[in-house]
Amino acid sequence: MTFTALVLVVEAEELDPLSDALLDAGALSVSCEDARSEPAPDAPHFDGSGESVSWARVKLTALCKVRPDPEQLLLRACKLAGIPVPVHELRSVPDEDWVAKSREQFGPIRVSAQLWIVPTWLAPPEPDALNLVLDPGLAFGTGAHPSTRLCLQWLERSIAGGETVLDYGCGSGILTIAALKLGARHVVGVDIDPDAVRTARANARRNDVAGEFLEGCTPLTFTADVVIANILANPLKVLAPMLASRCRRGGQIALSGILSDQASEVESCYSPWIAFAPPAEAEGWVCLSGVRL
């Protein structure tokens, strides 16, 4: 596979929303560095750290497939993030095994007292814990991002056993797998990226769970006891009527991938259908959760 590096410089406050929007739009990985330094698009990360940076301007390097067009990917990402398209350039990147190179950046992640995320190439630190064995492949979702950890912690509190669950924007399948291991009866994961759907299916097999994974164009005709969507604020706002309609009355819903200052706006889009609890927050990211009215 041939890759292209999409290189652009943004203001520091645009870093988090645009990084996540690039991943959501189809970038394989995103890295950042001080804009004053020389560009080095040679070892990008699979998802952002969620940590703030002190630089005034930041250089982002997004690793993209040559097809579809990286320029169109950037346009979609800027629309999702709600920012103008910045000055940018495309650079050819030699074909390498990016997934293998990225493995050096990942280690086991403790989500809670009983829940761990363990990369497939490492042994679980606690074999008797509830271990989610994960290979992100070319899909978003390693568990390192605060929004993913917030969702996993919410699922751990919310799944009592026997529920049907919709995981919208499933990425690597991490939330689908967690819900099944926590006792859900049936979970459907949906993603617009075919690579993510393939990766999620493979990860489910690794964890010996039977999740159902669908591409985003597939009509959803069922209602679930639990709906969870870890994507971004702008698509969450657009999807509000659909996601609310997929949650049964009295069911639970969780929305994440939301920056703290975006929470009230997202909540207002769902308020006709959802009674929200106080939000959970980590490192500037928020998980909104509530009950379907």
- CATH number of the domain enclosing 70: 3.30.70.120
192: in domain: yes
Nearest of 74, 4, 60, 62 to residue 32 by alpha carbon: 60
- Count of domains observed in the chain: 2
249: in domain: yes
Is the model's pTM score more than 0.75? no
- What's the pLDDT at 51? 38
26: in domain: yes
Amino acid at 174: I
- What's the pLDDT at 137? 58
217: in domain: yes
151 and 280 part of one domain:
yes
- What's the pLDDT at 97? 58
Residue 216 CA to residue 194 CA, distance in Å, equals 9
279: in domain: yes
- What's the pLDDT at 134? 87
Range of the domain at 53: 3-101
207 and 63 part of one domain:
no
Q: What's the start-to-end Cα distance of the chain, in Å?
A: 48
Helix residue ranges, H only, the chain: 15-25, 70-81, 98-102, 146-158, 174-181, 194-206, 233-238, 240-245, 263-270
97: in domain: yes
- What's the pLDDT at 140? 56
120: in domain: no
58 and 146 part of one domain:
no
213: in domain: yes
- What's the pLDDT at 36? 54
Give the chain's residues under pLDDT 70.
1, 34-56, 94-105, 136-142
- What's the pLDDT at 42? 36
- What's the pLDDT at 118? 92
